[in-house]
Structure formats: structure tokens, C-alpha cells
Structure 1
Amino acid sequence: MPDLPQHKPVLAWTAHNGISGAGIRLEALPEGYLLHVLGAIEPAALAAELAKARFTNSSVRKAGFHQWFVAGDEPLLPASLDALAAALAGKAFVMDQSHGRVRISISGRSSRLLLSKGTAIDLDPAVFPEGSAAMTMVGHISVQIARTGDDSFELMVLRSFAESLWHELKHMATSAEKDSA
């Protein structure tokens, strides 16, 4: 009998190799679901449709003109995705990107310093407040950075670049901790 393919989180090995220092915490987030929504729908209307389709613990981020990313930690249920697609019919299209992207959390008082070492985005809270998201580069890797709190960020990266980004962030974190000391 052939072996069935099994899903293995790409950053599973980081559970014991993360960074948790005085000023920085680097953590691979659960590989739940990530949906790409395209259409002229406002965030409040999208949030209402997400709630109806039982995507209750989702975060919605702007991904471009009339584009949104919807992320959550739970596994994606096909019936929920079908319900959301039906609810958005005529307003927006939804595509499952769960298999192709990975999320990484960066938090702590030195998180902005760490990110400033790899990206040119101004992460000052007055310019990039909580809820903001932007596509950018961290080194040579394309990522979406979202501010999730005062000193916390979430990076979304293509799955094939996740390990490289992790190593880059770990290197930058070591440097950022030295600079903040």
C-alpha cells in the first residue's frame, strides 16, 4: 500500500530553536489557513461574511488594491471555505493559499529594531499603526509585514522561503539584542 502524503509544518523544527530573549520573541505560527480574497468588498462587510461562514478567529489584512488576506490558526474546513465562497459570490473571489504560505510572529520591545535591519518600511506606530500591513522585502525575501500590536508583528512568506527567512530573522535578532543592550 502506498504511503499517504502527510502534512508537515515547514518550521516545525523551530519549536525548540526559537528566539525568546529579553527584547525579542520569534515564533513560527500554526499553519492553519490563509485565504486570499479579491474584490471590491469593504473590510467590515468581509468580516461579517467571515463570521457567517464560521471563520470567527480570523485576522483580515489588506494585501493590495481590492485584495485581502484572511489568516487563522485552525485547520481549514472545506465546508467553511465553500460557505464563504458562496457568500462572497458576485462580490469577491476567495482562493485558499494555506498550502503555500507560512506565518512568523516577532514580538518584544526590540522587534522594530530587528525588522529595521532587514526592511525599509517605517515601522513607527504613528506611520504604521496596529492593523497596518504592507508587502516588502526582508533582505532578498518578499514578505507581508502586519502590525498586530504595539511591539508585535506577523510576517507572511511563501512556504519555500520560510526556512531562509527564519535563519535571516534569527541572525538579525542576535544582532538586535546586542544593539539594544
Structure 2
Amino acid sequence: MPDLPQHKPVLAGAAYSGISGAGIRLEALPEGHLLHVLGTIEPAALATELAKAGFTSSSIRKAGFRQWFVAGDEPLSPAGLNALAAALAGKAFVIDQSHGRVRIGISGRSSRVLLSKGTAVDLDPAVFAEGSSVMTMIGHISVQIARTGDDSFELTVLHSFAESLWDELKHMATSAEKDSGA
């Protein structure tokens, strides 16, 4: 009997082991979990329900009108998803996007320079503060950019575009380091 297929992260292997240069760090983040929440629940109430369902280290990112992504590094358990769906019943719907999207981390003093090469979003901290997120395009690829720190960002992309985005970011990282004088 043949072996069952094993899950392999999209950005696995030596080609995606991360890039560290002067001023930029590019890394494939754990596939963990990504939930799409749609409904009338407000972010503070959603955070409360997430904590009750055991998603204490997950982050909430605005994804559109009355829509949020809930992202975290831990794998999703069916029991956790069921508990959250039950807690949100009548207020919001939860859709598991964990296998359909990939997260990429970008950090370092040149991270904004890198991202400015691919998107028109103003990433200045005065405009796009920590915790902010936006759906945008990098080249022809739709991504969500979330600011996770002063010089750190997380990009969420559809699974099938992850490798193309990675290659584009590698190219932009080389150019960004030259432009920043690193």
C-alpha cells in the first residue's frame, strides 16, 4: 500500500530557508493557522472570543469591511476551530484558510524600502502604525501586508502565488539593499 501524502510547507527547502542581508531579513513563517472571520463582531469582542477558544497568541488583522484574518504560528486543531465557531455563532462566520494561504516575514531597517519597490502603500509608521494591515498588490500578486513591529512586516499570500512572491521579494531585497547603501 503506498504511503499517504505528507504535508510539505510551500516555502520549504534550501531555496526558501530565509535571506539575511545588511538591513533585510526575509523568512517563510510557520504555516500555523489563518482564519477568515466575517460578521458584525468588533475586533475587541473577537479578541475576547479568541482567548476563550484558546487562540491567545493569534493576531487579528482587518481584511475588509467586517472581515478579519486571525493568524498564528500554532497548527489549527478541529476542536479549536469548532470552539471558536460556536463562540461566534450568530455574530460571525469562521472560514479556515490555513491551507490556502502562506505567510512571509520581512524585517530590518530596509524593510520599508523593499516593500516600497512593490506596492504604493504608504508604510511610514505615522500612517501605517504597528498592528495596521491592508490588502494590496505587489506586482501582479494580491497580498495582505501587516505591520508587526517598527521595522517588521508580515505578508499573507494565496498558496499558489507564494513561490512567485518569494522570488519577487528576493529580487527586490537585492535592489533595496543597494538603494539603502547597505
TM range (shorter): over 0.9
Please name the residue that 1:88 is paired with. 88
Instruction: Give the Å deviation of 1:159.
Output: 0.4
Matches within 5 A, 1:157-168: 157-168=157-168
- Alignment match, 1:73: 73
Corresponding position of 1:140: 140
Partner of 1:107: 107
Give the CA deviation at 1:175. 0.4
- Whole-angstrom CA distance in 2 between matches of 1:107 and 1:81: 30
The Cα of 1:14 is off from its aligned counterpart by: 4.9
Distance 1:138 1:21 in 2: 21
CA distance in structure 2 between the partners assigned to 1:14 and 1:161 by the alignment: 18
TM superposition score normalised by structure 1:
0.97
Quote the offset at 1:2 in angstroms.
3.2
Shift in CA distance, 121/14, structure 1 to aligned 2, threshold 3 Å: farther
With normalisation by structure 2, the TM-score equals 0.97
- Alignment deviations for residues 28-54 of structure 1 (CA, whole Å, 9 cap, x no partner): 000000000000111110010001100
Q: Is the 8 A contact 2:135 2:144 kept in 1?
A: yes
What is the identity, as a one-letter code, of the residue corresponding to 1:71? A
CA distance, structure 2, for counterparts of residue 26 and residue 91 of structure 1:
37
Letter in 2 for 1:18: G
1:36 aligns with 2:36: yes
Identity of aligned residues (%): 86
Aligned residues: 181
SS at match of 1:12: coil
Give distance in 1, aligned partners of 2:121 and 2:15: 28
Tell me, yes or no, if the aligned pair for 1:53 and 1:83 is still in contact at 8 Å. Answer: yes
Letter in 2 for 1:12: A
Paired residue type of 1:41: I
Post-superposition offset of 1:13: 1.7
Q: CA-atom RMSD, angstroms?
A: 1.1
Whole-angstrom distance in 1 between the partners of 2:93 and 2:36:
8
What's the offset of the Cα at 1:3? 2.5
Q: Post-superposition shift, 1:22? A: 1.5
Separation in 2, partners of 1:116, 1:92? 34
Deviation at 1:17, TM superposition (A): 4.1
SS of equivalent residue, structure 1 residue 121: coil
Q: Is the 8 A contact 1:15 1:28 kept in 2?
A: no
Contact 1:10/1:163 (8 A) holds in 2: yes
Q: What displacement does 1:76 show? A: 0.5
Give the distance between the partners of 1:28 and 1:17, measured in 2 at CA: 7
Amino acid at match of 2:41: I
Q: 1:128 to 1:151 in 2, by over 3 A?
A: same
- Gap change, CA 1:95 and 1:16, over 3 Å in 2: closer
